[in-house]
Amino acid sequence: MSSDPATIRREVHRRRTFAIISHPDAGKSTMTEALALHARMISEAGAIHGKAGRKSTVSDWMEMEKARGISVSSTALQFNYRSAAAVTEGSDEINVINLVDTPGHADFSEDTYRVLTAVDAAVMLIDAAKGLEPQTLKLFQVCRHRGIPVITVINKWDRPGRTPLELIDEITERIGLTPTPLYSPVGIAGDFRGLLDRRTGDYIRFTRTAGGATVAPEELLSASDAQATEGDAWTESVEESDLLSEMGQDHDEELFLAGQTSPMIFASAMLNFGVRQLLEALVEFAPPPGPREAVDGTVREVVDPFSAVVFKVQAGMDAAHRDRLAFMRIVSGEFERGMVVTHAQSGKPFATKYAQAVFGRDRSTVDTAYPGDVVGLVNAMTLAPGDTLCVDPTVEFPPIPSFAPEHFSVLRAVSAGKYKQFRKAMDQLVSEGVVQVLRNDLRGDASPVLAAVGPMQFEVVTARMKTEFGVDTSVERLGYSVARRTDPDSADELGRQRGVEVFTRTDGALLALVSDKWRLQYIEKEHPTLTLEPLVAAAD
């Protein structure tokens, strides 16, 4: 299939594909809702903030997510947005926003890492009162490693918190990223009145709506009117802005794309304050989709023939259909539903008849898509995270590494009569990458060992086993905390060591599980010729 390069370039220019990263409870899913609300994709925010009668957000579709009010799985949202600049210039251009919502909980770092292989920018959401937190730090390091530019949002400015300069200094000192605020907040944390636009000097004043369920009205005032209206709060904001300019902390696009600086916005996702400003910043500053390097060192340009990377496989999103959805990020070329592509890992053809655009749990058929878009392929049973789909010339992109697990449990079906369903469920969850599954001859297929980055992954497995397959399971924790890759020559000797058990992972890798790091150090000292290679750590 040949596509018009000019059309592809035009479509790529309109697209922004990004993820939101944060520590749990920083307001990530609420911000996702708020962005969709401002883009007029939903008429009312789906989060009713409070324990009683709380609705789940549109991006949280799993029953466990709804019950706990947390995100434990990534999901994709695509919507259109016409920027203020386009309106002012009389342009008809509408941007296509691909937002991939990520789990905030550290136990699901592996899922978040997969998402970060599929985006061109990230929004780092920080709680105004808590500042940088451990999970945010880890995820930022992943962004830095992958060269993903970051926009920083200080969320929950409507609640008591720290000062802007304190937060700016912390980010600069702890992660070496220089924040360049696009706006200065008017009003201290807990008294959020509006934003000083540092580039124009104007005042954007917000008005609260009932429960923050609808878009917050904005009023644009001149500096003199702002001074008359807000008094000392405006003066303090202006002084802070001037100080930042003296320190050289004004936005520089080149430094931002190089990962040295980060545009910063103060916001309240709950009240919908500062949300439009974030959308505008994404459209104006975040990079459009670009080329990607292949395993062999060649580069696939966006105008080259079609190629895509599968970064997520998920089943159970729609109980009525009970199908399986593979999320692919288009890297190059034009995608047309029904086209036959090549699965690079196997060399086999793959038909794309059932292709869908995803908005949380809702779906719609997609006929065409372009680089940067996220498309769901239905019932893609042969696809796994990290796989490449393409047309000639064939290309294969680097695989997505599995994280080093730190928690291990034996999973068993409560009823022996459910063994067939148990095996089917395990095969599906393994292909999705929900957990790693380890087996050896001693334990047999009826008692596989689950290996996870965090223990909450085991809860997801047991919950989905019951709700999607009707299989009640029990989990028994094992006394291992370290995993190392080994080889057949070392496996026998390692199997004889106290506190060690050797397993085969589903992908064929041999893993030695060791009781603790001290036992590992002893074995390495006593048997220096044995192969014990570290796996990729979640914080790498």
Q: What is the DSSP string of 493-533?
A: HHHTSTTEEEEEETTS-EEEEES-HHHHHHHHHH-TTS--B
289 annotated as ligand-binding: no
Contacts of 238 (CB under 8 A, 6+ apart): 184, 196, 223
CB 329 within 8 A of CB 308: yes
Radius of gyration of the chain (CA): 25
105 annotated as ligand-binding: yes
Q: How far apart are CA 212 and CA 303, in angstroms?
A: 42
Q: Do the strands 261-266 and 178-181 form a parallel or antiparallel pair, or are they unpaired?
A: parallel
Instruction: Compute how many other C-beta atoms are within 10 angstroms of the C-beta atom of residue 235.
Output: 13
101 annotated as ligand-binding: yes
* CA dist 297 → 17, 98, 197 (Å): 24, 27, 43
**Residue the block writes with tokens 């869908």:** 356
Long-range contacts of 169-176 (CB under 8 A, 24+ apart): 170/131, 170/132, 171/126, 171/132, 171/262, 174/132, 174/137, 175/132, 175/137, 175/140, 175/141
Residue 208, both tokens: 């609260």
Residue 6, both tokens: 């000019």
Nearest to 226 by CA among 253, 248, 203: 203
Annotated binding site for GTP: 101-105
Annotated binding site: 101-105
